[in-house]
Structure formats: structure tokens, C-alpha cells
A and B are shown apart, each in its own frame.
Chain A
Amino acid sequence: MRYTLLLNSGPPPAEVTEADFAAMQQAFDAYGKALAEAGVLVGASVLQGPDVATTVTLRGGSAEIADGPFAETKEALAGVFLIDVPDLDAALDWAKKCPGATYGVIEVRPSATSLLADGTWT
């Protein structure tokens, strides 16, 4: 079953040293390798900040494109990991191991349906 781990976190601290940044990068790299080795990784992205987000909607009838994030909140989506594991306990174990959990909150959500690489829905 597919679960998405949604990494939510506040804005990065004003002072991030290069060493801090490198350490976190290394932690995410190790985490990604562990996911891949376990054969559970479907895909992942660590996102740039909401300050560079652009929003698009057709709700008003035509395309409206605007600067800024969808919701102005203190905590924002900072990354997604899509994994395929047997059950929630396994998904929670991976969430606990995610480096993002040390500074943010990981929301674990089961997929309702998933699109496979060949374009079919499960």
C-alpha cells in the first residue's frame, strides 16, 4: 500500500551554517538510500521554500497565476516521500527515521489510489 510522508516544517532558522546544511543533506541522502535499498521508495522531493511558490487555479473560469504559497502558514510543506509498504506501522517506522522529523512534523497519509509509471491507476 502506498503512503505519502508529508514533511511540514517552519521557516529555516536565520543562521544555517554550511556544516549544518551539509549534515542535513547527508542525513537525507542516507535516508533516501535506505528507502531505495529496502525497495519501498516510489519517489521523493525535498522542496524549496514557500517564498518561491507560485499558485495556479482555473476556479474563476480562467487561469489565475499568482505569486506566493497556497496558504500562509507558519508550518509549510517542505517535502514529500512516496513509499510502498505493507501497512501503517511500516509507514510510521519510515516516518520516524526521516531526518525531517527532527525539525518538523511528518504527516503520514495513505493513498486512495495511485498512478503507476505505465499510466494505469491501481
Chain B
Amino acid sequence: MTSRVDPAGAVVAARAGYGRLLAVLASSGDVHAAEDALADAFERALVAWPDRGVPDNPEGWLLTVSRNRLKDRWKSAEVSRTTWLEGAPEPVSLDDLDLEAIGDRRLELMLVCAHPAIAPTDRTPLMLATVLGFTAAQISGAFAVPSTTMATRLTRAKRRIKANRIPFRIPDRHVLPERMGAVLEAVYGAYAIEHSATGPRPHGLVPEALQLAEILTDVAPKDPEAHGLAALVELSAARQPARIGVDGRFVPLADQDPDDWDQKLIMRAHDHLRRAHACGVLGRFQVEAAIQAVHCARTGTEDPNWARIIELYGVLQRIAPSWGSGVARVAAIAELDGPQVGLAALEELGSLPETLLSGWAVRGHLLARVGRTDEARAAYGRAITLTGDPAERSWLEGRRSAL
């Protein structure tokens, strides 16, 4: 029944399966009760495993203890008669527990987290809490809110899931695409927070986004955009170590040394892109990832293939137009054809939204290159007020004072 495994290590290892366990436990609709029960099971494991040895099937042990705990809760008086018990899975004993047979319910859990009845701003935090097992305090930093506020938001969202009986199942084909779109957006939200204009902790969530994106490709292997998103996050994460120089300063992409990039992650990204391509349906995340793949293909100090990047941004603007990709395309055009052509392309986009950090940074950069110093100073000034990243801010300030 037990083996000679380091018990504390076994508990840590089992935590990697948190989302799988929670997804099974929460499928009765009560995420909060499932979390409580699972937390309790982990606590008991910390006591029981060093004492009695690590069970052969640690996840099965945790699931059984959690389920028994849920069963006690259902039986107890604290649960009113109005709680819907019918249809809730009957807790089982350890003997007939086969995790493989139960199956992976994490996609259902992610679909619930990104359900249209859940506020869009709560979807990413909810996924981080339920799929990865982060606490409100851990999540709150990345979202720049007090941990009590985050706890309240998570509680409210879980209450909505239970009270409305949001189903833990793959929806019908006619709504599945839009529901998957929301799941992708919520996972992307964990990645995009790094680029948010107001977050003070810009790099906080990349490993979490990476985990969520890879889990999503595990549970939805036939979704090309899930692979595209995983590739995008991996390519960004691969460059993460090169973004901050030895002196703690921000290093822009063009100045990064490709030798500092994580080649293993880049390889994994290419693998995801191949699998996405095999599905035969192009989407926004695949194109964004392809652009990052071109950036990652340069070696030494050579330029990336700007013509290819401009072309891909053109595709992106057609299938998912946005200010961000419009500005990025302008920056690439300026690299290939010079700052005058770039400025003209920027003018064509129209007047920049006031909060578009990349837009004002690119504008400042191009104006500086053509010698329009006063205007460049003003544009950099605006970009500086928009960045929440200290390293990026000091880089922008350096550019401005060098004018």
C-alpha cells in the first residue's frame, strides 16, 4: 500500500496535480466546497504520509479523502435542503478509484471559469485559483489589487457558479467555439498582464500563463488556437531571461542576445505551431506566435526577417485588427524602410489612443530618428506615464534624456 518516498516531497509533487483533482471534485458545482475539501486532504497528507508512508496512488488518496470530506459536508446540517444533491457524484472508496477512468475534467473547469455568466475580469484569476491552486494573496499582486479584494472577487465568482448551476460539461457544438474563445482569452489574460499599462508587477505571471496554456493544449489537443496560444506564451517566456540586463535594466528585443533565449522553450513552441498548422484553421494566436517565432529565428546581431514580420502583421490585422498589432506593424515597417515611411504608416492608423503605451513609445522612437526632438520628447513622456515596469520606465527615460 505504501512506498519509501520522501513524504514532504510527495505532497509537493501531488500539488502539481491540483487542478486535475479540483476539477473532478468541483464538477458537482460547488467550487468553494471542493477547494476546502482538497486543502483539508493536503493538510492531512502532510501529517499522515510522514507517519504512515506515502500511498502508492497519492492522487487517488487525496481524491478519496477530499470526497469523503465532501460527503460529510453534504450529510451535515450546515447544508440546507435546498442544496442540489441529486446528480452529485457519489464519493467512492479508495479501492475502486481509478483516476484514468474518472478522466481529466480540467477543460470543463476552464470552461466554467470563462463562462459568459462570470465577469470577464474574474475569469483569469479564477483559473489561476482553481486550475493552478494559487491563493487570492498570490494572485492579487499580479492584478495590482489588495488580496482582500481578490478574495472577494473569487468568492463572488464561485458563488455565481454554484447559485446559477453553471454546468461542468463541454457545451454543445453551436456554442463551443465562442466558449473556447473565452477560455483562450482568459489564459491569454494571464500572459497579457505583463504588457498591461497599469500593472506594477509586469512580469509576474509568465510561468503561470505558460502552465495554463500547456494544460489547455493537453485537454483540448485538437484546438489549433490552444496550440497557437501555447506557442505564443512559450516564445515570450523563452526571451524572458534576456529582457533584463545584468545591471537590472530593460533590454529591448532588438538588443537582446539570442544566446540568452531559452532554446528548449522555442523548440516546444515550434512543436505547438506544427500541431496547430496540422489542424488547418488559422487564428489570431497562431499568427501572433508565428511573428514571435520570426523574431526568435535571428542569430547574433543580425536583423530579423522584417519583410516576413510585416506580412504576418498584415494577416493579423485582417483576421483580428487591433491597435497593438497595427503599431507593431508600423515599427517593423520603420525597421525595413526607415523612420519617415514608418511615421507615414503611423499617421495612416489615425490618432493614437491615449493609453496605448507601445504606440507612444514607437512614435517617440520614430520622431527621434528623424530629428523632431520636441515632439519625440512629448511622446516618450506620455509612454513613461503609461508603463508600470520600472526597468522599462528607466529605459524610456534614458531614451528621452538622450535626445
Contact = CB atoms under 8 A, between A and B. Distances in A.
Given A88-B165, A89-B171, A92-B116, 4 more contacts: A87-B167, A88-B167, A89-B175, A122-B82
Nearest to A90: B167
Contacts of A92: 116-117
A89 B163 contact: no
A110 B29 CA distance: 14
Contact of B166 (A89, A112, A113, A122): A89
Interface string B148-191: 00000000000000011111000100010000000000000000
A13 interface: no
Given A88-B117, A89-B171, A110 B82 contact: no
Contact of B164 (A86, A88, A113, A122): A88
Contact of B165 (A110, A112, A113, A122): A110
26 contacts: A1-B84, A1-B165, A86-B165, A86-B167, A87-B165, A87-B166, A87-B167, A88-B115, A88-B117, A88-B164, A88-B165, A88-B166, A88-B167, A89-B166, A89-B167, A89-B171, A89-B175, A92-B116, A92-B117, A108-B164, A110-B163, A110-B164, A110-B165, A112-B82, A113-B82, A122-B82
A41 B167 CA distance: 20
Interface residues on B, range: 10 to 19
Contacts of B116: 92
Contacts of B171: 89
Nearest 7 CB-CB pairings of A with B? A87-B167, A88-B164, A87-B165, A88-B166, A110-B164, A1-B165, A89-B167
Nearest to A110: B164
Contacts of A88: 115, 117, 164-167
B109 to A, nearest CB: 15
Contacts of A89: 166-167, 171, 175
Interface string A86-122: 1111001000000000000000101011000000001
Nearest to B116: A92
A89 B165 CA distance: 9
A92 B165 CA distance: 12
B401 to A, nearest CB: 53
A92 B175 CA distance: 11
Contacts of B175: 89
Nearest to B80: A113
Nearest to A1: B165
A77 B276 CA distance: 48
Interface string A58-87: 000000000000000000000000000011
B177 to A, nearest CB: 15
A94 to B, nearest CB: 13
A88 B165 CA distance: 6
Contacts of B82: 112-113, 122
A26 to B, nearest CB: 25
Contacts of B163: 110
B276 to A, nearest CB: 28
A96 to B, nearest CB: 10
Contacts of A108: 164
Contacts of A122: 82
